[in-house]
Amino acid sequence: MNSEPIWGQSAQAFQQFFGEHWAKTLQSFQQIDPKAPGTVPPVQFEPGKLQALQQEYVREATALWAAGMKAPVPKDKRFSAAPWEHNPLAAFSAASYALNAKVLTGMADAVQADEKTRQRIRFAVEQWVAAMAPSNFLALNPDAQQKAIETRGESIAKGVQNLLHDIQQGHVSMTDESVFEVGKNVATTEGAVVYENEYFQLIEYKPLTAKVHERPFLMVPPCINKYYILDLQPDNSLIRYAVSEGHRTFVVSWRNPDATMGDRTWDNYIEDAILRAIAVVQEIAGAPKINALGFCVGGTMLATGLAVLAARGEHPVASATFLTTLIDFQDTGILDLFIDENFVKYREMQMGQGGLMAGQDLASTFSFLRPNDLVWNYVVGNYLKGETPPAFDLLYWNSDCTNLPGPWYAWYLRNFYLENNMVQPGRVTVCGEQIDLRKLKLPVYVYGSREDHIVPITASYASTQVLPGPKRFVMGASGHIAGVINPPAKKKRSHWIREDGALPPTHAQWLEGAQEQPGSWWEDWAGWLKGQAGKQIAAPKRYGQGTKYKERMPAPGSYVLQKA
């Protein structure tokens, strides 16, 4: 983006400027007609909004031009380092960029189109604006230039080394990955693999209490990530917390699919993983019923599995916890920008009958939902300044990506994200059974994160309106991961509950009667789960049960070590 203001131009010139710069970007959000490749719909603006935007731009650009080399640095963390303020040219460049970015974003909002198209254009604009920030270029970044001078060029040499390293590993380093090793300093809660098939390994954890609750507890993490998000460090491990609360705890550790699993379907994962895991936990513990937890898409799969079992007249799960889970896909937030009939058809043709959705492609997609924080921040630090990012267990996990079988992925997109079939009784068939959530009468605990950009808080709350049994809803602060992984001992963030237990039709109505509570939601959940777990019995002395389900290898097992 040119750092000089483009002020004083006509509305027609504005429109031409926008159209020329965005034609290619818009194509990434269109399924182009093969007979007319390279075409995009013409961009039209609401005249009133465009005129107001032009006038505001001319006014602000005139003031910026008058200030010249005395222009203040925008309040933006990308330009917060002292060299930006002490370098008048850099300050003017940053201020010009901020003004141009504001105008382009405003123009995206002024496009005459339906809401989804306008949001797609805005997203594309925001991606380009984020990429063109002067902080991303050594020639325009005084902070990186000063470091190069102070280190006599060593920072530049180190930056080149970092760049070559990241090219070799296939992704931008968000943390010092050399510090972490799965099973050594992440995923360290003591346990053993007691069962495996081609889809998952089942880990049972060693009790930390003399007695455990009679109902065992099964955790189902998302299969689009490694399970150890639930077991990062001892002091922020939800798994260890559950064990310390006296639950005989089991966790599904998903296999990282390779080409041999490229034909696996959603039905395969429900029948041979979700339902199988439930049955094995029952057998090992000798329990007629268990408690279960699903996180993110793991929760969607758990809900699907429970609906299949209910259709068969089986109810082996006494209670379910759903953490940042989509069950009703009516509101999918920013991800809705990517989903339409043409996109889903394309994925179905590409991999619906076989193939893999590459884990790195998924990881990149999620990173670019927050490009300044999860992409360009590391480009500047790693390559322009030659820095090694600090060690952070959550970001190490975030970079440890997993593949998905193509048929699984394509089916999931169509039936849930596009058509929202699970909440429509009898609309979708899984494992030969028609899904009807009205048959799920079990108690559920539903948690949503207030700033979640993957599962919007309204979408988490929507589960309370489609699950018919007794329900408790809790909202936590922060986002999709940080909101969930929030141990009580750290006394961070807060959560919201309603003492009256009311669950009105919308989240906004629920929030009107909710009270903010300091600290983690874990303790509230632990109290609820205790009420579902039954009496206490002597903790088992060994893993598994008999010779059929015996210790195969220590936790974290081998599947979690597989790379995409």
**Angle CA(363)–CA(113)–CA(461) in degrees, nearest 5?**
50
**Rounded-to-10 torsion of CA 265, 269, 275, 277:** 160
Q: Do 316 and 279 contact (CB within 8 A), yes or no?
A: yes
Tens of pLDDT, residues 61-100? 999 999 988 899 999 999 999 999 999 999 999 999 999 9
Q: How far apart are CA 197 and CA 217, in angstroms?
A: 20
* Residue 564 confidence class, pLDDT cut points 50, 70, 90: confident
Show Cβ contacts of residue 184 under 8 Å, excluding neighbours closer than 6 positions.
Answer: none
Helix (H) or strand (E) run with residue 88 in it: helix 88-109
Q: How far apart are CA 10 and CA 29, in angstroms?
A: 28
Q: Is residue 360 exposed (0-12), middle (13-18) or buried (19+ Cβ within 10 Å)?
A: middle
Pull the structure tokens for residue 261. Answer: 């699993």
Q: Is 431 a catalytic residue?
A: no
Q: Which entry of 223, 296, 401, 431 is annotated as an active-site residue?
A: 296
| Cα–Cα distances in angstroms (integers) from residue 109 to residues 26, 45, 104, 368, 526, in the given order | 14, 9, 9, 20, 45
Pull the structure tokens for residue 337. Answer: 């920008």
Q: How far apart are CA 368 and CA 372, in angstroms?
A: 8
Looking at residue 362, its pLDDT comes to 86
Residue written as token pair 């230039």: 145
| Sign of the dihedral through C-alpha 454, 449, 487, 299 | negative
Looking at residue 22, its pLDDT comes to 43
Taking residue 288's Cβ as centre, other Cβ atoms within 10 Å add up to 11
> For the chain, what is the mean pLDDT?
91
- Which residue in 279, 333, 329 sits closest to 299, CA to CA? 329
What Rg value do the Cα atoms of the chain yield, rounded? 26
More confident residue, 26 or 274: 274
More confident residue, 8 or 1: 1
Percent of the chain residues topping a pLDDT of 70: 93
| Cα–Cα distances in angstroms (integers) from residue 412 to residues 108, 428, 434, in the given order | 31, 11, 16
Q: Do 254 and 295 contact (CB within 8 A), yes or no?
A: no
Q: Do 294 and 220 contact (CB within 8 A), yes or no?
A: yes
Q: Which amino acid appears at position 152 of this protein? A: R
Pull the structure tokens for residue 22. Answer: 């965005």
| N-to-C CA span, the chain | 35
Categorise residue 46: left if φ over 0, alpha if ψ from -120 to 50, beta otherwise: beta
Q: How far apart are CA 75 and CA 102, in angstroms?
A: 13
Q: Which amino acid appears at position 408 of this protein? A: W
Phi and psi, residue 449, nearest 5°: -100, 135
Looking at residue 29, its pLDDT comes to 41
The mean per-residue pLDDT over the stretch 264-275 comes to 98
Tens of pLDDT, residues 504-551? 999 999 999 999 999 999 999 999 999 999 999 999 999 998 889 999
* Residue 42 confidence class, pLDDT cut points 50, 70, 90: low
Taking residue 548's Cβ as centre, other Cβ atoms within 10 Å add up to 11
The strand pair at 404-405 and 429-430 is best described as unpaired
Collapse the DSSP code of 252 into the 3-class scheme (helix H, G, I; strand E, B; otherwise coil) and give the result: strand
More confident residue, 205 or 14: 205
Q: Which amino acid appears at position 281 of this protein? A: V
| Sign of the dihedral through C-alpha 384, 390, 395, 399 | positive
* Residue 114 confidence class, pLDDT cut points 50, 70, 90: confident
- Which residue in 449, 417, 435, 225 sits closest to 322, CA to CA? 449
Phi and psi, residue 473, nearest 5°: -115, 135
* Residue 187 confidence class, pLDDT cut points 50, 70, 90: very high
Q: How far apart are CA 94 and CA 415, in angstroms?
A: 45
Q: Mean pLDDT lowest for which of 10-19, 52-61, 182-191, 467-476?
A: 10-19
Looking at residue 24, its pLDDT comes to 42
Q: How far apart are CA 146 and CA 151, in angstroms?
A: 9
Domains within the chain, CATH numbers bracketed: 11-150 (no CATH), 151-180+359-402 (no CATH), 191-337+403-561 (3.40.50.1820)
- Which residue in 153, 235, 210, 445 sits closest to 320, CA to CA? 445
pLDDT at 334 over 90: no
Q: Mean pLDDT lowest for which of 1-5, 380-384, 547-551?
A: 1-5
* Residue 40 confidence class, pLDDT cut points 50, 70, 90: low
Show Cβ contacts of residue 222 under 8 Å, excluding neighbours closer than 6 positions.
Answer: 295, 296, 297, 298
Phi and psi, residue 147, nearest 5°: -65, -40
